[in-house]
Amino acid sequence: MRTASQHHLMYYFSSRRGSCKFHQAIKPRVWNSSQISFTGRGQSLRFPAPIRKTRLFVISNTDDGYACAPLLEEERNTNNVPTLESEAFFSEWFPPSFLWRGLSVLVLAGQVIIRILKGKVHWGNTLEQLERVGPKSVGVCLLTSAFVGMAFTIQFIREFTRLGLNRSIGGVLALAFSRELSPVVTSIVIAGRIGSAFAAELGTMQVSEQTDTLRVLGSNPIDYLVTPRVIASSLALPFLTLMCFTIGMASSALLADSVYGISINIILDSAQRVLQSWDIISAMIKSQVFGMIISIVSCAWGATTIGGAKGVGESTTSAVVISLVGIFMADFALSYCFFQGAGDSLKNCV
């Protein structure tokens, strides 16, 4: 076996986009731990590359008169360059959808607050969304509240009449409607009607790359799409809640008078003696928080939509479900903060 001064080697370099092949007499030269140079006839190649610790063995080749120098690589990577196996592992990993979508809700809420404080609000779009959330949703909210009020009136009248507490029926209905039923029922209706529309619209814009078009035109999608919807929902829901409370009490009084013979004056007088200003204020605060939850969750789910028409449908359904869960959780937290301890509101109507 003899050592040749020049090696006849075949080097084959491949990548994701293509490959190149060199087959000539060249001299390999290692400049440092992260760079290799090849010098041949008429050309010189030098490129950085992850170099592993290798051993060079020269074996005589009787076919062409040159020496064959195979490179025997060791398993250890001396310069800590990621291997193809580790890259493939991280390229296949993707965080769960509920995790990154939940984080997107927090990020979006922070961006909306910052934009509102800076005054970067598209007021024309805000007025358009306010009309959509408010006046165009009044009918379905009032109809739902009226039937819910009549259903609760039937249950209360049956039980309170047996106990001889006819004068307490109005007070109990007023407390139930002001503290819980009106804000929750109104928010559920808005989540199904408006929240689904928000998620579907922003999801369609996302999959059709319309949001990217807004960025190209110099408009921030947060200012133009998200912030107006959040402001409109937060402003419209307290007034819708107040209207639903009024219609619910009116329908309950009419049903009690026409079916069960309990005078409207008794119902309204009992409600007036029980209700306090804080009961109405707490209902409006709750509805405002619920409006923010509905709008931010729906916009976040729409903005993170992937997968075309199927993804839009899944995002819309998921946005409504998550909004309802958020409403119930927030209702519990706010009720726990607002109404702690034993109450004495009904003592005035017993």
- Tens digit of pLDDT per residue, the chain (350 long)? 444 444 444 444 444 444 444 444 444 554 444 455 555 555 555 545 454 554 544 454 555 555 454 544 444 555 554 554 555 555 566 666 667 777 888 888 899 999 999 888 888 899 999 999 989 999 999 999 999 999 989 988 888 888 877 788 888 899 999 999 999 999 999 999 999 999 999 999 988 888 888 888 888 888 889 999 999 999 999 999 999 999 999 999 999 888 888 888 988 888 888 888 888 999 999 999 999 999 999 999 998 888 888 889 999 999 999 999 999 999 999 999 988 765 666 666 66
Tell me, what amino acid is at 20? C
Q: Could you tell me if residue 56 is inside a domain?
A: no
Q: Could you tell me if residue 116 is inside a domain?
A: no
Q: Could you tell me if residue 197 is inside a domain?
A: yes
Cβ-count burial 335-347 (b if 16+ within 10 Å, e if not): eeeeeeeeeebee
Q: Could you tell me if residue 213 is inside a domain?
A: yes
Q: Which residue blocks in 97-137 are alpha helix, DSSP H? A: 97-118, 123-133
Q: Could you tell me if residue 154 is inside a domain?
A: yes
d(CA 22, CA 43): 11
Q: Could you tell me if residue 77 is inside a domain?
A: no
The number of folded domains in the chain is: 1
d(CA 57, CA 7): 12
> What's the domain range around 315?
126-338
CA dist list (Å): 298 to 58, 292, 308 = 68, 10, 17
Would you call 49 helix, strand, or coil by DSSP?
coil
Q: Could you tell me if residue 75 is inside a domain?
A: no
Q: Could you tell me if residue 239 is inside a domain?
A: yes
